[in-house]
Chains A and B, each alone.
Chain A
Amino acid sequence: MISLGIRLALAGGREALARLVVIACAVAAGVGLLLGMLAAINGVHSQDNRYSWLNSAHSTDTPRSGVDPLWWRLSGDAYQGERIGRVDVAATGTNSPVPPGIPRLPAPGEYYASPALARLLADLPADQLADRYPGHLVGTIGSTALPGPDSLVIVVGRTPAEVKAADGSHEITSITTTPSTDCDDCPVGPKGSSVILILSVTAGALVFPVLILVGMATRLSAARREYRFAAMRLVGATPRQVSVIATAEAALAAAAGVAIGFAVFPPIRLALVRMDFTGTPFFLSDLSLNLWDVLLVVLGVPVAAAVAAGIALARVRVSPLGVARRVTPPPPRAWRLLPMLLGVAELAFFIGRRPNTSAGQSMAFTPGMVLILGGLVYAGPWLTMVGARLMVGRSNDPAVLIAGRRLADDPKAGFRSVGGLVLALCVTTGSVAIITAITAERGLPEIYTAGAGAAVDHTVLGSYLTGWGDDGRPTGAEKPLPASVTTQLRAIPGVAGVTVIHADPLGTPDPTEHQGPVGAARQGGLASCEQLAGTPLFHTCAAGAQTATTAADFDGFGVDIGSNWPRQWPTSSVPAAQLDGLPVLDVVVGTTGSAATVERVRTLLEGTYPDRAMAPWTLSEYRTQAQGQLSSFQRLANTVTLASLVVAGCSLAVGVAGGLSERRRPFSLLRLTGVQLGVLRRTVLLESAMPLLVVSGVAIGMGFLAAELFLKAQLGYSVRSPGAMYCVMVVGGLAASLGVITSTLPLLRRITGPEAARND
């Protein structure tokens, strides 16, 4: 029977061939994307493993005996927003553990750098980068120790005394291989589980529209196939034999699709290399497939396609006399809205009741989202029926009457061809609304826009404050900044001003902390009014004042964190002449934002205050890092949206063209009886456009509602206007869909000629 099914699939004429090609292409698209997602998941795992050695000081590995401990200090540095992982090491004997990727531990005065960092060190003037690292380069770090090909990592050799004295140093006896996902306290790594969850959901989101397309394609020329199956049933084929033949046809197409899918995987893999949704691009070799992945796709996809084909044909019971007598199916009821409404209620329930763990949050929000998406598909036929009845109303237009009656009689069939698009619109709307709101909440307030924002963004902050003691005193303050350094800073081309924030000997309360925590008032900082005038963005003093009490913590510059800074700092009674001798909390350097300026300032500050846990940084770098993953997910969401829309558009085209082909005879007879081609065209257009527009409206509304409920529950945010880009996407998507429908209309003239009306 299987061979007969394959024979029929291959010899079934143009329509069967078209069906075969469409299914194969749909499956190929799905397989390519699925393989890409599986490779990305493997890539995240591999990258997580590559990061592991950097967490050696935080692992829970049992200390090894008989090993000379290694002094170890991990710190973060930066170059143009790119993180540089710096590890200072000092061996206490010849038997100290050696990190991966280097042949031996660097001696004091030596360092190993990753190839990307080594190139930068060679290319840039020393005062922009190399001066931060004591000693000279003795080799490059091998790829086994690098999270990605462009990673900036350096292992610096120091003396045990130097490392021991630095903030955040540890003694270790082994290099850990535990990935960050399995290590709660590890500071470095993508914490792959959340990324993998998102990738898994993405893979599912991609496969769903593909299966819809497979189902749609399976129903192409359904009447002809049903005719053929009936003929077979007449001469004794059992229902099971017919089912085997139909499944063999679908599985054949799916197998061809799997082969093509594997062929398109290499270019998809190349594209994934640059899509750094973990914040670091992948090594190409990490984006690989294991045997289980290959087996899953090779066996699973044809089975899934065969099941989708089976579901598409399940409604048709083929008897030896043809398809079982068709009766008008009972109209869908309003309770089809129930799953969707349950999804809304489920999301609303968690407003103010957000679970604390990310696993709990995932468990809380996923069912609601699934209910809304699944509920939308389930409610689609009911919405189509209501729309059709409203459309027919008292219309005198025969096209409206024919299209409306047909949709009202079988709204499931009417909705089927637009279901994929509607789903894609709902997902797009929800994701765009969520990402827009998050971006808006974390963006610059209006006060800093229009030019000033850039100046804030490019201000370099050396922040040495580590917190406040129980008595409210700032902790972590550095030694006074030498006057020579201030002069050097000012002499760097592109530096606009330097303001040093000192610890206040009078312990004046921080003027920005009036909404702060209960307990001893946190003390503020102290700054020279002359210096503040050089960086006016961070507010000024009262007229005639020499010194002012400022925020102790310039982290965020009063923009991202605590945007309630006063417009004028309160005057302090500490004389300006006393400031130079006071400990330093922050050094604020305004720059023009040029790479050379920022890096020179950073290098000078790092040289002045070495061995700090955090390197000086700019607000734009902070934003780049904070939003890096968000941007990556935005790119991923865009990819998913685009792929879903394309696949859904294909489903629509296949559905409309298939529907036209199926109704060749009745349309031809209508033409013979004098119905104009224009009327038939309007009928076809209305039959697809009406459900598309009606259910799309509901889908967009549900997308916004789901986003609002999620944002309220998870982040306390509200949906913002999604912007022009979204409107362009939605209007463009709908226009393209209508274009797809319109593009099938010329087919109408060709297939409804008088010859099509003849009896077979």
Chain B
Amino acid sequence: MTGIVLEARGLELSFGPTPALRGADLAVEAGEILAIMGPSGSGKSTLLHCLAGILTPDAGEIEFAGRRLDTMKEAQRSELRRDRFGFVFQFGQLVPELTAEENVALPLLLGGRKRAAALAEARSWFGRLGLDGLEARRSGELSGGQAQRVALARAMVTRPDVIFADEPTGALDSLTGEQVMDLLVSTAREHGTTVVVVTHEPRVAACADREVTVRDGRVTTAFMERMAS
């Protein structure tokens, strides 16, 4: 896939009386690693959730691979999240009742893959991400870094077009965070996967090809930021 894979135009979204997005525009190139930065409450996570089809904007359009995401039904968006997108969040994305390998296999199982085949595919990611021997552990038995790598494996197992990462290193110490980020970037580059990462850490943003900032619900580029200041 080349060219623009994901594009948002004039997104607006409010939570009750509080506006979170006020006409946000963004275009993401295929294979690009894009960092979205911004202060707390600026709307960066809300923008990511809209781009991923988790939230539906009040106004504006989102297009993914030529299809309107904002007008899709919930079931279609679920399907898209399962087959074309992957997610790595700060915490809370692993199902505690399942083992690590079952967590990785979950998107495949939800897609109707047979259990044995799904688990085999899941296990193939453990070695690549340095998780050997942790297949049978539950999320409570994993360290923060290990849990994030399992989440990364789960995000990659369907070979998605886009990975959405929301503060993926936010709950980790700097060394572990760096390791996770390196893995995310290298794996994405290896497979040509687009990555949209929300972060407030410049260290994480430095791994990206491009960086945008969200301020008061609108997207600005680093160049515009510098001009403004």
Residues of chain A whose beta carbon lies under 8 Å from any beta carbon of chain B: 1, 3-4, 7-8, 11-13, 16, 224, 227-228, 230-241, 319-322, 325, 760
Contact A11 B98 (CB under 8 A): yes
> Does B21 count as interface, using CB distance less than 8 angstroms?
no
Inter-chain contacts of B98 with A (CB < 8 A): 7-8, 11
Inter-chain contacts of B79 with A (CB < 8 A): 236, 238
Residues of chain B whose beta carbon lies under 8 Å from any beta carbon of chain A: 15, 49, 54-55, 74-75, 78-83, 85, 87, 89, 91-98, 106-107, 109-111, 115, 154
CB distance from A755 to the nearest CB of B (A): 13
Inter-chain contacts of B115 with A (CB < 8 A): 3
Closest 7 interchain pairs by CB?
A236-B82, A238-B78, A236-B81, A12-B97, A320-B54, A235-B107, A238-B75
Selected from B15, B82, B85, B109, the residue in CB contact (under 8 A) with A325 is B15
Contact A236 B111 (CB under 8 A): yes
Inter-chain contacts of A7 with B (CB < 8 A): 98
CB distance from A6 to the nearest CB of B (A): 12
Selected from A16, A230, A320, A321, the residue in CB contact (under 8 A) with B81 is A320
- Provided the pairs A12-B97, A240-B75 are in contact, do residues A235 and B54 lie with their beta carbons within 8 angstroms? no
Contact A4 B109 (CB under 8 A): yes
Inter-chain contacts of B85 with A (CB < 8 A): 236
CB distance from A149 to the nearest CB of B (A): 53
Task: Determine the distance from Cα of A236 to Cα of B80 in the docked complex, in whole angstroms.
Answer: 7
Question: Which A residue's beta carbon lies closest to that of B83?
Answer: A236
- Provided the pairs A11-B98, A227-B92 are in contact, do residues A232 and B75 lie with their beta carbons within 8 angstroms? no
Question: Which B residue's beta carbon lies closest to that of A241?
Answer: B110
Task: Determine the distance from Cα of A16 to Cα of B95 in the docked complex, in whole angstroms.
Answer: 13
CB distance from B70 to the nearest CB of A (A): 16
Inter-chain contacts of A232 with B (CB < 8 A): 95, 106, 110
Selected from A228, A240, A325, the residue in CB contact (under 8 A) with B95 is A228
Task: Determine the distance from Cα of A281 to Cα of B82 in the docked complex, in whole angstroms.
Answer: 63
Contact B110 A321 (CB under 8 A): no
Question: Which A residue's beta carbon lies closest to that of B99?
Answer: A11
Contact A16 B97 (CB under 8 A): yes
Contact B75 A234 (CB under 8 A): no
Contact B87 A321 (CB under 8 A): no
Task: Determine the distance from Cα of A236 to Cα of B81 in the docked complex, in whole angstroms.
Answer: 5
* 20 A–B pairs (Cβ distance < 8 Å), ordered by A: A7-B98, A8-B98, A11-B98, A12-B97, A227-B96, A231-B92, A231-B93, A232-B95, A235-B82, A235-B93, A235-B107, A235-B110, A236-B79, A236-B80, A236-B83, A236-B107, A237-B78, A237-B82, A238-B75, A239-B74
Q: A236-B78, A238-B78, A240-B75 are in contact. List 6 more A-B contacts (CB 8 A).
A: A8-B98, A13-B97, A235-B154, A236-B79, A322-B92, A325-B15
Contact A11 B54 (CB under 8 A): no
Selected from B15, B93, B97, the residue in CB contact (under 8 A) with A11 is B97
Inter-chain contacts of B89 with A (CB < 8 A): 234
Inter-chain contacts of B111 with A (CB < 8 A): 236
Selected from A12, A234, A237, the residue in CB contact (under 8 A) with B93 is A234
Contact B97 A228 (CB under 8 A): yes
Question: Which A residue's beta carbon lies closest to that of B79?
Answer: A236
CB distance from B66 to the nearest CB of A (A): 20
- Provided the pairs A320-B54, A321-B54 are in contact, do residues A235 and B81 lie with their beta carbons within 8 angstroms? yes
Question: Which B residue's beta carbon lies closest to that of A4?
Answer: B109
Task: Determine the distance from Cα of A7 to Cα of B109 in the docked complex, in whole angstroms.
Answer: 13
Question: Which B residue's beta carbon lies closest to that of A11?
Answer: B97
Task: Determine the distance from Cα of A321 to Cα of B154 in the docked complex, in whole angstroms.
Answer: 17
Q: Which of A230, A232, A236, A240 has the most B CB atoms < 10 Å from its CB?
A: A236
CB distance from B94 to the nearest CB of A (A): 6
Contact B110 A237 (CB under 8 A): yes
Contact B96 A319 (CB under 8 A): no
Task: Determine the distance from Cα of A92 to Cα of B179 in the docked complex, in whole angstroms.
Answer: 108
CB distance from B220 to the nearest CB of A (A): 25
Task: Determine the distance from Cα of A319 to Cα of B81 in the docked complex, in whole angstroms.
Answer: 13
CB distance from A217 to the nearest CB of B (A): 17
Task: Determine the distance from Cα of A7 to Cα of B138 in the docked complex, in whole angstroms.
Answer: 14
CB distance from B171 to the nearest CB of A (A): 8
Inter-chain contacts of A224 with B (CB < 8 A): 96
Inter-chain contacts of B54 with A (CB < 8 A): 234, 319-321
CB distance from A675 to the nearest CB of B (A): 27
Q: Which of B78, B83, B89 has the most A CB atoms < 10 Å from its CB?
A: B78
Inter-chain contacts of B107 with A (CB < 8 A): 235-236
Task: Determine the distance from Cα of A274 to Cα of B101 in the docked complex, in whole angstroms.
Answer: 57
Task: Determine the distance from Cα of A760 to Cα of B171 in the docked complex, in whole angstroms.
Answer: 10
Q: Which of B87, B92, B96 has the most A CB atoms < 10 Å from its CB?
A: B96
CB distance from B181 to the nearest CB of A (A): 20
Inter-chain contacts of B110 with A (CB < 8 A): 1, 232, 235-237, 241
CB distance from A233 to the nearest CB of B (A): 7
CB distance from B137 to the nearest CB of A (A): 13
Inter-chain contacts of B91 with A (CB < 8 A): 760
Task: Determine the distance from Cα of A627 to Cα of B83 in the docked complex, in whole angstroms.
Answer: 72
Q: Which of A13, A231, A234, A235 has the most B CB atoms < 10 Å from its CB?
A: A235
Inter-chain contacts of A321 with B (CB < 8 A): 49, 54-55
Inter-chain contacts of A233 with B (CB < 8 A): 78
Inter-chain contacts of B75 with A (CB < 8 A): 238-240
Question: Which B residue's beta carbon lies closest to that of A230?
Answer: B92
Task: Determine the distance from Cα of A132 to Cα of B15 in the docked complex, in whole angstroms.
Answer: 91
Task: Determine the distance from Cα of A230 to Cα of B91 in the docked complex, in whole angstroms.
Answer: 12
Question: Which B residue's beta carbon lies closest to that of A232?
Answer: B95
CB distance from B105 to the nearest CB of A (A): 10
Task: Determine the distance from Cα of A224 to Cα of B95 in the docked complex, in whole angstroms.
Answer: 10
Task: Determine the distance from Cα of A238 to Cα of B111 in the docked complex, in whole angstroms.
Answer: 10
Q: Which of B94, B97, B109, B111 has the most A CB atoms < 10 Å from its CB?
A: B97
Contact B74 A238 (CB under 8 A): yes
Contact B87 A235 (CB under 8 A): yes
Question: Which B residue's beta carbon lies closest to that of A10?
Answer: B97
Question: Which B residue's beta carbon lies closest to that of A325?
Answer: B15
Contact A231 B94 (CB under 8 A): yes
Inter-chain contacts of B96 with A (CB < 8 A): 13, 224, 227-228
Inter-chain contacts of B109 with A (CB < 8 A): 4
CB distance from B191 to the nearest CB of A (A): 18
Task: Determine the distance from Cα of A3 to Cα of B115 in the docked complex, in whole angstroms.
Answer: 10
Inter-chain contacts of A760 with B (CB < 8 A): 91-92
